[in-house]
Amino acid sequence: MTALREQAKALGNARIRYTSEGRSGNLYFESDETTFNVWWEFGGGDALAIINIPTEQTWEAQTKLPLDKRDAVLDYIAAQVIHDQASGRGTFEISNNFLTIYK
């Protein structure tokens, strides 16, 4: 089983889907526990995309998930976006309220 499948299974059969509205859109996280969406936009320079994520302070209210799952969920989202949108090649950085995907 691939690492992404293992991550998805551990997070309650997690999956993501995207909508696009030109240079931005929404990313939807869905699992057995919850569904939430965040917006994304294309980045510049080495940044492929910037995803607006809930801060630690707003995580539980926006996602209906406990704060101790935040890192695992964000790692999964980043890995899946890199797989889907960057042919599996890229890195990511998580800041307070942004997840940035780099080439």
3-state secondary structure of 96: coil
Say which residue the tokens 């999956």 belong to: 15
Q: Place 1 in a pLDDT band, splitting at 50, 70 and 90.
A: low
Largest Cα separation within the chain, whole Å, is: 36
Single-letter residue type at 38 = V
Work out the average pLDDT over 16-28. 97
Work out the average pLDDT over 17-34. 97
So what's the pLDDT on residue 49? 97
Q: Dump pLDDT digits (tens) for 64-88.
A: 999 999 999 999 999 999 999 999 9
